[in-house]
Amino acid sequence: MGKVAVAATVVCAAAVTAAAVVVVRHRMKNSGKWAKAMEILKEFEDKCGTPVSKLRQVADAMTVEMHAGLASDGGSKLKMLISYVDNLPTGDETGIFYALDLGGTNFRVLRVKLGGVENVKKEFQEVSIPPNLMIGKSEDLFDFIAGELAKFVATEDEDMQIPPGTQRELGFTFSFPVKQSSIAGGTLVRWTKGFNIEDAVGADVVEELTKAMERAGLDMRVSALVNDTVGTLAGGRYGNSDVIAAVILGTGTNAAYVERANAIPKWQGLLPKSGEMVSSFIYLFIYFRAGRFGSYYIFNGLNG
């Protein structure tokens, strides 16, 4: 079918659809159903509208839970997690870096050359994870990931090669519930999103990936383990120094923001020189319901 014929077909289809809408609307108006439909929509709109006073109550409740979560683990409905990231990018960073984003049935590998905010070059590839590896053994999953990462590294051109004798650095975004122990270490709490690899639970995911990269003959070091919100925050800060928070709206909803280090009582280490620490709400679930029986606001850190 030629381009003209295709265009004509699309126009005709659109015209038929528009005509059908007009006919249906006319019939509904004549039958009295139109007024009833508009009445239902107006009622729905009114009952879904949350008063400003209620929104302020929500904000105050969140603030209380945030402070409680920063004070101690398990002391709040929110999972306030410390990221161990105490310095965010300034936009002046330069060099060639790798990233691995594992957060679902696909994972992405990225190669980026930083040369200032106006001079960033990126190359990436997305890989689907075979279903059998999502419920098999930890070693099999990480070997597959490391193998695909090695293939991607092999595609470096002259402009994206690191200096001789320099080890490649990798940022690892792992979007599953993890109890982080350092900037480059954390144990898996549990799987979500269709994964169920029992021998990986309780294991350090960075160690598992590092061993797999060694088996694949890949000379690369995981320099940072972050969740998706921290990665988004760092990326935003690279281009804009005013960025202080990031939010992910997906399978779950989570956020990361810059907090004063001395406002985190549960932090046991030395205060960082920057005086700041990135904290995360991991999979914060906010549920609003407004109806004839009143309004309900539920806050729950689902962590997965």
The residues annotated as belonging to the active site are: 175, 190, 228
Start-to-end Cα distance in the chain = 49
**Nearest-angstrom CA–CA distance, 184 and 209:** 11
Scanning the structure block, which residue is given the tokens 């202080």?
244
Reading phi first (left if > 0) and then psi (alpha if -120 to 50, else beta), residue 32 is in left
CA-nearest of 140, 112, 153, 261 to 212 is 140
Q: Scanning the structure block, which residue is given the tokens 């144990």?
A: 187
127: left (phi over 0), alpha (psi -120 to 50) or beta: beta
Separation between Cα atoms, residue 256 and residue 229, nearest integer Å:
5
Element (H, E) at 93: none
Amino acid at 103: G
The residue whose two tokens read 């979500």 is: 192
Map tokens 């099999």 to a residue: 140
Tell me the CA distances in angstroms from 116 to 86, 119, 225, 242, 246, one per residue in order: 21, 5, 23, 17, 21
Among candidates 88, 114, 86, 112, which has minimal Cα distance to 101? 112
The single residue listed with the structure tokens 């539920």 is 298
Task: Report d(CA 134, CA 191) in Å as an integer.
Answer: 10
Q: Hey, what's the torsion of the CAs at 90, 91, 93, 99, to 10 degrees?
A: 100
